[in-house]
Amino acid sequence: MKIRISSDALSQELFKLQGVVSHRSTLAILSNALLEAEGDTLTLHATDLDISVSTSCTCEVLEPGKVTLQARSLFDIVKNLESDTLELETEENHWANLKSGSVSCRIVGTHADDFPNILDTSSVELFPIATERLLDMIDKTIFSVSTDDSRANLTGAFFKVTDENNLLMVSTDGHRLSKIETPPEDFDPEADIPAALTEGIIIPRKGLAEIRRIVDADDSELSFGLIDNNVVFKTGPMSLSVRLIDGSFPDFTQVLPRESEHRAIAEKSLLDQSLKFVSLFASSKTHNVRLSLSDEGLELYASDPDRGEAKKVVPVEYEGQPVKAGFNFRYLKDVLGAIEGDAVSIEIIDTLSPTLIRDPDREEMLFVVMPMRL
Amino acid sequence: MKNWNEILGNKRVRDVLARAVSTKRLHHAYLFTGPVGVGKHTTAHALAASLNCDQRHPEEFTPNCGQCRTCRLTAERQHPDLFFVEPPNRVITIDQIRQLQKACVSAPYEANYRVVLIDECHAMKEEAANALLKTLEEPPDQMILVLITDQPHRLLDTIISRCQRVRFGALDRQEIARVLPEFIDEPVDAAVLEVAAGYGEGSLGRSVDILQSGMLAERADLVRKISQVEANAPRAWLELAEELSDETQDFEYRIDVLTVFFRDMMLTKRAEPTRVVNSDLQELVEEMAQKFSVQAILTTLDALMSARYRLAGHVNKQLLAEDLVDRLRDPDSRALDRPS
């Protein structure tokens, strides 16, 4: 294989692979990227067996071929080149010779056959989805995805097309839950939607994070499809496939609290700031902060026998009975971080029932946080 | 890794496994037990290759071709659906088992089966073993676990009961002698190969070890030295003790060599000499057998066995060697105070 390529273009594409190449896997080949030169394109693949990224860019192919090279070191080399043209040529033993300006180096490579099979995504039926919408859905749910491997079905976000033809994404770790249900923008709900999508799929956390990292919010076109238990996202020349988590997502509708008649509406930035302050006094073991709602406002209170106690009252509009409940302040902070509006509505039913937090301007999403026993 | 058909001995075991594949009754978890170095790991590794080989017959068991990409990657341990668990320092930790479980939640990446080999599975700590129970009980589809051990008594009953046990036996002495040259760098005399095979007691691994240790070559010297220790020359036997124990590993081999040699002397004295292991040194064996009484040989063997046992228990090797030589220097007179 021999190619001539712009080092800027190559380093841009290599960047997209960096998230999935692993550094400490027992399979050495997984830290490599597969490079395929054919026609006038260079196609790059990387996989960690759960997530695979393929991308391509144009280049001058002097001799077609394939090789696998250490993705990390290749990226480090290419991004530090001064000259913009790079010539890459492989040797008999699969080492690669790199020449650019006054630089020349050789790096170790292996036979392309050693690379795990690449999922062929060319035949996938794709549905367009608004990039911004998808990224927003991920932002609103990724923080509450469970990290506990013993319950594998919670270590991803549940994604489905609902009966009303809305897109739904839900995540939970057993202590909190995030849900967003939004009408598809570019998505034709009349299209023939695969059954798996209407039943729902579980996309692992790392896959979500990788989409978030690689997909540029300004990228106009993003589409997705399903193939062999993988969800594939495509934008431009790049495709990212994520192996779905087997298993069923728990029926979360049962834990959603009924809507309370009395909502407390608070200013978000003030609440966020107050929470930060009061949480300084929260016990480092339980992270407990108590929220009490009454006519006088929302009182935040935290105490730690080793340090002291603090109290702060945030003005809120609230008309119901006085109620209070204790929460892990980190969960509240995560939720406040995900809300973009200026106001936040809190519905505490009683000390033990799940509490509902929402953005009053965006009713399509909601966050549930379980209280701690006070 | 060897190809399935090239594996030495234990044909019955391989037939059982092959039949299980052909009749689609492959168990999800196997426990391979048997002495060290008889091909348990090799068989498991070749089984993994055979199950996933690109050339395999869809309906019945086919030995791995050894040529295709899958066979090659499996042999190089680089196949994405092959998972090895081995004790890094004598123990398999719960983290290793968790990693295994994490890697195995989904279906195989590209192969027919995902194969997990847990070598020296007796090295699993109790919590690691308990963590594995869940996987053994409800393994994901298309996953085969092979647990390998030479010390099954150290496993939890709950592990053993969840696996199908496959027992490996000792290998044939002639067969070992035949394949030994493949495992050593320098060519060795056929007679010595025969001897090494005998020393291995049916374990190819042990035969290779003893051959590579070079102890076989210095066997005759060693035996002469031991037999010539004078009862009343403390300086001489202290020096001998020091020489014996200079490296722990070599000390172990020396004891093994001596043990087998004294066994041969015993055989020559009392039984048929055809079963003598040190066949190339027949004359020396006979000569020595003349010098020692049966009682003295027994005492010596006892001393050697107990030294071997204590060495494994990390007893100070110099003291051990001195004690050993002390017992050897006049075995006749000590025949009565044999250690219990």
Task: Tell me the pLDDT band of A332, cut-offs 50, 70 and 90.
Answer: very high
pLDDT at A66 over 80: yes
Task: Tell me the pLDDT band of A228, cut-offs 50, 70 and 90.
Answer: confident
Q: Is A80 helix (H, G, I), strand (E, B) or coil?
A: coil
From the list A49, A113, A246, which residue is nearest B69 (CB)? Answer: A113
Q: Which two tokens stand for residue B206?
A: 């042990």
What value does the mean pLDDT take over residues B202-213? Answer: 85
CATH H superfamily, domain A127-252:
DNA Polymerase III, subunit A, domain 2 (3.10.150.10)
Task: Tell me the pLDDT band of B225, cut-offs 50, 70 and 90.
Answer: confident
For B152-174, how does the pLDDT look when each residue is reduced to its tens digit (9 = 90+)? 999 999 999 999 999 999 988 88
Could you give the CA distance from residue A349 to residue A368 in angstroms, rounded to a whole number? 12
Whether residue A253 lies within 8 A of chain B, CB to CB, comes out as no
Q: Cβ of B109 and A27 within 8 Å?
A: no
What value does the mean pLDDT take over residues B124-140? Answer: 90
The three-state (H, E, C) secondary structure of B194-214, written as one string:
HHHHHHCCCCHHHHHHHHHHC
Per-residue model confidence (pLDDT) at position B192: 82
Taking the CA of residue B244 as centre, how many other CA atoms within 13 Å lie in the half-sphere pointing to its CB?
Answer: 32
Mean predicted lDDT score pLDDT of chain B:
86
Could you give the CA distance from residue B56 to residue B50 in angstroms, rounded to a whole number? 7
- Its pTM stands at 0.79
Q: For chain A, which residues make up each domain, given as ranges?
A: 2-114, 127-252, 257-369
Q: For chain B, which residues make up each domain, given as ranges?
A: 4-167, 214-334
Residues of chain B with Cβ-Cβ distance to A26 below 8 Å are: 83-84
Per-residue model confidence (pLDDT) at position A191: 66
Residues of chain A with Cβ-Cβ distance to B102 below 8 Å are: 149
Q: Indicate the range of A125-134, A143-152, A181-190 predicted with least confidence.
A: A181-190
More confident residue, A303 or B284: A303
pLDDT at A178 over 70: yes
Q: Cβ of A114 and B73 within 8 Å?
A: yes
What is the CB neighbour count within 10 angstroms for residue A330?
16
DSSP structural state of residue A284:
T
Q: Cβ of A116 and B110 within 8 Å?
A: yes
Per-residue model confidence (pLDDT) at position B338: 47
Q: Which CATH architecture has domain B214-334?
A: Up-down Bundle (1.20)
Work out the burial of residue B56: count CB atoms within 10 Å of its CB; fewer than 13 is exposed, 13-18 middle, 19 or more buried. Answer: buried
Cα distance from A68 to chain B (closest Cα, Å)?
14
Residues of chain B with Cβ-Cβ distance to A115 below 8 Å are: none
For A266-311, how does the pLDDT look when each residue is reduced to its tens digit (9 = 90+)? 999 999 999 999 999 999 888 999 999 998 899 999 999 888 999 9
Total CB pairs under 8 A between chain A and B: 31
Q: What percent of chain B has pLDDT over 90?
A: 33
Taking Cα atoms as reference points, which of A68, A64, A73 lies closest to residue A118?
A68
From the list B78, B83, B110, which residue is nearest A117 (CB)? Answer: B110
Q: What percent of chain A has pLDDT over 70?
A: 97
Could you give the CA distance from residue A34 to residue A65 in angstroms, rounded to a whole number? 11
At position B314, the amino acid (one-letter code) is H
Q: Does domain A257-369 have CATH number 1.10.760.10?
A: no
Per-residue model confidence (pLDDT) at position A188: 63
Per-residue model confidence (pLDDT) at position B339: 47
- Please tell me the class of the A2-114 domain: alpha beta
Q: What percent of chain B has pLDDT over 70?
A: 96
At position A54, the amino acid (one-letter code) is S
What value does the mean pLDDT take over residues A103-122? Answer: 89
Rounded to 5 degrees, φ, ψ at A235 are -145, 125
Q: Using alpha carbons only, give the angle B96, B97, B98 rounded to the nearest 5 degrees.
A: 90
Q: Cβ of A246 and B106 within 8 Å?
A: yes
Q: Cβ of A245 and B105 within 8 Å?
A: yes
ipTM: 0.74
Residues of chain A with Cβ-Cβ distance to B98 below 8 Å are: 149
More confident residue, A326 or B178: A326
Mean predicted lDDT score pLDDT of chain A:
89
For B296-336, how does the pLDDT look when each residue is reduced to its tens digit (9 = 90+)? 888 888 888 988 888 888 888 888 888 888 877 776 665 55
Task: Tell me the pLDDT band of A240, cut-offs 50, 70 and 90.
Answer: very high
Dihedral sign (CA B72, B78, B82, B84): positive
pLDDT at A50 over 50: yes
List the single residue in A with minimal CA-CA distance to B134. A150
Whether residue B86 lies within 8 A of chain A, CB to CB, comes out as no
List the single residue in A with minimal CA-CA distance to B110. A117
Q: Indicate the range of A42-46, A245-249, B73-77, B248-252 predicted with least confidence.
A: B248-252
Whether residue A147 lies within 8 A of chain B, CB to CB, comes out as no
pLDDT at B249 over 80: no
pLDDT at A371 over 50: yes
Q: Cβ of B107 and A229 within 8 Å?
A: yes
Q: Which CATH architecture has domain B4-167?
A: 3-Layer(aba) Sandwich (3.40)
Domain A127-252 shares a fold with domain A257-369: yes
Per-residue model confidence (pLDDT) at position A189: 59
For B55-91, how does the pLDDT look when each residue is reduced to its tens digit (9 = 90+)? 998 888 999 998 999 999 999 998 989 999 999 888 9
Query: What radius of gyration do chain A's Cα atoms show?
Result: 25
Taking the CA of residue B15 as centre, how many other CA atoms within 13 Å lie in the half-sphere pointing to its CB?
Answer: 4
Per-residue model confidence (pLDDT) at position B219: 80
Q: Using alpha carbons only, give the angle A274, A278, A284 rounded to the nearest 5 degrees.
A: 140
Residue A356's alpha-carbon distances to A57, A179, A366, B184, in angstroms, are 47, 11, 7, 72
pLDDT at B337 over 80: no
